[in-house]
Amino acid sequence: MTDTETNKTIRVWDPIVRIGHWVLVAGFFTAYFTGDEFFQQHLWAGYVVASTVAIRIVWGFIGPKHARFSSFVRSPAAIGAYLGGLMTGRAKRHVGHNPAGGAMILALLISLAGTAGTGMALYAVEDNKGPLAGIITASPQQAEPAYTGARGDDDDDAEGETGEHEGGEEMWEGLHSAFVYLTLALVALHVGGVVFSSLSHRENLVRAMVTGMKRPE
Ligand code: HEM
Ligand code: HEM
């Protein structure tokens, strides 16, 4: 093992993983509670989440052992075996992320990226601002009442949509909200999983995400 040993614990989570984690938590909830009324703060918090996710993904390829995707992304069979073990109290303890935790991390990162990405798309179609301005634009024909008759050019998606508003705004708003609620649901499962695994292995995983230290094995 390359980890630095101190007394009976070893360093498992490097600073990028730990600080990144708590920045994600703070950024996500700040964005969540500012979405309706405090738009500047919302944008900043959203960009913090997006940048942290981007850094974490790169770190998953170049970071130290326990930060790498290759060390914690496992097969569905391994995930099933771990979850089965948790039910019977016989799940194997992992010094790094356990297989179910690894799957949850991927789901969280994808859902956070989807939340931030749809937020940027919404900002682009609403105000023509942000990193996706000019890439995703409001399409003028959608502002008109939907009609299904003329099919002059078929290189767009104007096939008789009935529910859409100006320039796809409603669609991006719907997608942004959907990702927000998907992330919230995953976070609830994630925290539940952390508590369950902590009890099952008799170790405080939350403290380890703060200090970076865990007992070896
Ligand atoms: C918005 C809320 C949250 C998000 C987006 C989130 C996301 C993540 C991510 C991406 C990781 C992987 C860490 C890495 O390898 O970089 C992780 C791990 C972890 N998170 Fe969270 N998390 C959230 C809330 C929480 C909360 C509230 C707690 C504490 C109760 C918590 C405790 C942990 C722990 C203990 C781990 C390490 C799990 C292990 O030991 O394998 N998380 N979380
Ligand atoms: C990643 C964390 C984010 C979270 C948790 C989040 C959450 C929310 C919430 C709860 C709303 C309120 C309306 C709704 O439910 O749809 C909202 C609206 C919005 N968000 Fe986000 N958002 C995030 C990131 C972003 C980013 C990165 C951008 C753009 C750069 C963005 C742009 C917007 C816009 C334009 C609105 C509509 C505001 C309005 O027209 O009143 N969001 N977001």
**In 3D, which of 165, 160, 69, 178 has the Cα closest to residue 117?**
178
Which residue from 122, 125, 170 has its CB within 8 A of the most atoms of ligand 2, so it is best to mutate?
122
Give CA torsion, residues 50, 163, 159, 168, to 10 deg: -30
User: How far apart are the C-alpha atoms of 171 and 151, rounded to whole Å?
Assistant: 22
Closest ligand 1 atom to 56 CA: 16
3-state secondary structure of 22: helix
Structure-block tokens of residue 38: 């405090």
> What percent of the chain lies above the pLDDT cut of 90?
80
User: How far apart are the C-alpha atoms of 184 and 17, rounded to whole Å?
Assistant: 20
Q: Where are the domains of the chain?
A: 11-140+164-214
Among all ligands shown, which has an atom nearest to the Cα of 49? 2
Would you say 162 and 133 are in contact if contact means Cβ atoms under 8 Å apart?
no
Among all ligands shown, which has an atom nearest to the Cα of 45? 2
pLDDT band at 176; cut points 50, 70, 90? very high
Q: Which amino acid is at 30?
A: T
pLDDT at 8: 82
Ligand 1 proximity of 187 Cβ (cutoff 6 Å): yes
First and final CA of the chain: distance in angstroms?
Answer: 10
pLDDT band at 141; cut points 50, 70, 90? low
Q: Which residue's CA lies nearest to atom 39 of ligand 1? A: 97
- In tens, the pLDDT along 83-129 reads 999 999 899 999 999 999 999 999 999 999 999 999 999 999 999 99
- How far is the centre of ligand 2, averaged over its atoms, from the C-alpha of 43 (Å)? 8
With 0-12 / 13-18 / 19 or more C-beta atoms within 10 angstroms meaning exposed / middle / buried, residue 169 is: middle
User: How far apart are the C-alpha atoms of 60 and 70, rounded to whole Å?
Assistant: 8
Per CATH, the architecture of 11-140+164-214 is what?
Answer: Up-down Bundle (1.20)
pTM of the model: 0.88
Among all ligands shown, which has an atom nearest to the Cα of 180? 2
- In tens, the pLDDT along 19-62 reads 999 999 999 999 999 999 999 999 999 999 999 999 999 999 99
Ligand 2 proximity of 117 Cβ (cutoff 6 Å): no
